[in-house]
Chain A
Amino acid sequence: EAGVAQSPRYKIIEKRQSVAFWCNPISGHATLYWYQQILGQGPKLLIQFQNNGVVDDSQLPKDRFSAERLKGVDSTLKIQPAKLEDSAVYLCASSLDLERGNTIYFGEGSWLTVV
C-alpha cells in the first residue's frame, strides 16, 4: 500500500516569496492533516480536513497560509508571503477517519528554508 506522498521534499525561498506544497494521502483516507514542525519541537496542527471540508484551521495563520482539498483527495498548502519564521518541515498526514483508534500516517515532509 502506498504511503502519504508529498512534494517537493526540499525548498529554499527568499522572504516575501510564495511556495506551495502538495500532498496525496493514502487511498481511501477521509481525514487529511497538515502539521508544521519547527526544529527541536513536536509537530503542531495547521489544518485538518474531513473529505473536502475543514474540521479545524484555528492554528493556521490565515493572513499568509492557505490550504485546500477541493475533491476530497489531494491537498495543497500555500504560503504567501513567506517569513523567516516559516522555516520548518511541513508534514502531511492522513487517517481513515476521525475515529481515535485509527492510526495517523505521515508523509516524508516538505522541508522549507526561508532566507
Chain B
Amino acid sequence: AQSVAQPEDQVNVAEGNPLTVKCTYSVSGNPYLFWYVQYPNRGLQFLLKYITGDNLVKGSYGFEAEFNKSQTSFHLKKPSALVSDSALYFCAVRLLYGGSQGNLIFGKGTKLSVKP
C-alpha cells in the first residue's frame, strides 16, 4: 500500500534559523510527491512538487525540498525561517493506479512553530 509518514507532530525553530520538516514515503514505482501548507482556518496551499529530474525542488515562499530515493524521503527545508511560516505542513503522494488514480494520500501533518 502507498503511504506517507511525517514522523514529527511539531517542529519548533527560532526565527532566522534553518528549518526542516520530515517526510518519508512508501510507493510502488516512481513517486510523485507534494508539499502543502495550511494556515489557521484556511484551505491547503500548494508549495512544491517532485515529479522527476533534479532532487532539489524549489517552491513558493523560499521553501525547497530534497528528494532522496535511497532513503525514500522528501524533506521540506527553508534556509531562514520566518514567524509567518508558522502553520501546518502536509506531505502527500499522488497515486498512480487503482480506483483512486490521481488522488493524493496525505501524511498526518506537522505543525511548524517559529518563535521570534
Residues of A with Cβ closer than 8 Å to B?
Answer: 4, 6, 31, 33, 40-45, 48, 55-56, 58, 91, 93, 95, 97-101, 103-109, 111
Question: Counting chain B CB atoms within 10 Å of each CB, which of A33, A48, A100, A101 scores highest?
Answer: A100
- The reply to whether B109 and A41 form a contact with Cβ atoms under 8 Å apart is yes
Asked, given contacts A41-B108, A41-B109, A100-B32, whether A106 binds B103 with beta carbons under 8 Å apart, the answer is: no
- The reply to whether A42 and B90 form a contact with Cβ atoms under 8 Å apart is yes
Contacts of B95 in A (CB 8 A): 100
Asked if B43 lies at the interface with its beta carbon under 8 angstroms from chain A, I say yes
Residues of B with Cβ closer than 8 Å to A?
Answer: 32, 34, 36, 41-46, 49, 51, 90, 92, 94-96, 99-104, 106-109
Contacts of A44 in B (CB 8 A): 106
Contacts of B99 in A (CB 8 A): 55-56, 58
- Pairs of residues from A and B, 5 with the lowest C-beta to C-beta distance, nearest first: A42-B106, A98-B102, A106-B44, A108-B43, A100-B32
Q: What is the total of A-B residue contacts with beta carbons within 8 Å? A: 72
- The reply to whether B101 and A98 form a contact with Cβ atoms under 8 Å apart is yes
Closest CB in chain A relative to B76 CB, distance in Å: 15
- The reply to whether B96 and A100 form a contact with Cβ atoms under 8 Å apart is yes
Q: Say which residue of A43, A101, A105, A108 sits within 8 Å of B106 (CB atoms).
A: A43
- The reply to whether B43 and A100 form a contact with Cβ atoms under 8 Å apart is no
- The reply to whether B94 and A100 form a contact with Cβ atoms under 8 Å apart is yes
CA distance A101 to B99 in the complex (A): 18
- The reply to whether B44 and A48 form a contact with Cβ atoms under 8 Å apart is no
Closest CB in chain B relative to A81 CB, distance in Å: 26
- The reply to whether A91 and B102 form a contact with Cβ atoms under 8 Å apart is no
